Amino acid sequence: MNKKWIAFLTAGVIAFSCMTAQAEEPARRSITVTGTSEVTAKSDMATVNVSVETSSLNVKAAVRENANAMTSVKNAVIAAGADASKIETQNYNVYPQQTYDSKGNAKTKEYRCTNTMKIVVNQLSKTGNVMDAAVEAGANRIDSVDFSVSHPEVYKDEALRKATEDAYRKAKIIAAALGRNVVNVISASDDHVNVVPYRMMNVKLAAARAENDATTPIDPGESKMQGQVTVVFEID
């Protein structure tokens, strides 16, 4: 029994000594820095959002007319070069719309049906043709045209690397201003890497084709990948 108690007490003393040593270990000096970056890439794909809006005094008629028009739009954009496997409905809505006279009395009630479709075009050169085909087939609104890259992973990695380098650069500047040196990395976290597509502004419904039978011009621009990391550096 005595031997067991001696062993138990010895282990306790050792554990207490280790805890005391850890508690007495001085806190490491550190600075926390956020690094950011932006990498640009030439766009190689487009996403077009088009809508068909129909209205009628009869709700079934409004829905039926919309369905027929959207079917025509879908077939037309596929024929013009859109990726058939990447066409999807973004929004569908049917609602009544009441009109009033000058005295505020209810007049006619119409039913409006709106269907918005997302269309992916993998060949940029066909984007204008797809837009024109959608309008000619019955789309009466182009909501947006976004240009992006089909394989953003490489650019995301580059954005992350540059954000980390930016954090290290900032840390050295701060440390030097304090009369210190960066000696180690305590922790690092990837805050985010965002893909910012280029959005074509002032989209006009097949304006060029309506005027001179030409394809609607497009401006693909450049997509951006933005990275941000937070790193805690140890300084001496």
Helices first, then strands: H and E counts in the chain: 5, 8
Report the alpha-carbon distance of residue 12 to residue 168 in Å, rounded: 43
Closest alpha carbon to 125 in 210, 220, 5: 220
Closest alpha carbon to 34 in 230, 168, 188: 230
Q: Looking at residue 9, what is its pLDDT? A: 45
Instruction: Tell me the mean pLDDT in the region 214-229.
Output: 85
pLDDT greater at residue 217 or residue 147: 147
Q: Looking at residue 119, what is its pLDDT? A: 96
Most confident of 60-64, 97-101, 202-206: 60-64
Of all residues in the chain, the percent with pLDDT exceeding 70 is 83
- pLDDT higher than threshold 50 for residue 208: no
Residue 197 — very low, low, confident or very high, per pLDDT cuts 50/70/90?
A: confident
79-127 per-position pLDDT tens digit: 999 999 999 999 999 999 888 878 777 777 899 999 999 999 999 999 9
Report the alpha-carbon distance of residue 226 to residue 166 in Å, rounded: 13
pTM: 0.70
Q: Which domains does the chain have, with CATH numbers?
A: 25-43+150-236 (3.30.110.170), 45-148 (3.30.70.2970)
Report the alpha-carbon distance of residue 54 to residue 138 in Å, rounded: 10
Closest alpha carbon to 147 in 170, 125, 116, 129: 125
Q: Looking at residue 134, what is its pLDDT? A: 95
Instruction: Tell me the mean pLDDT in the region 18-23.
Output: 51
Neighbours of 104 (CB within 10 A): 6
Residue 212 — very low, low, confident or very high, per pLDDT cuts 50/70/90?
A: low
- pLDDT higher than threshold 80 for residue 161: yes
**DSSP class of residue 43?**
-
- Report residue 151: phi and psi, to 5°: -130, 80
**DSSP class of residue 219?**
-
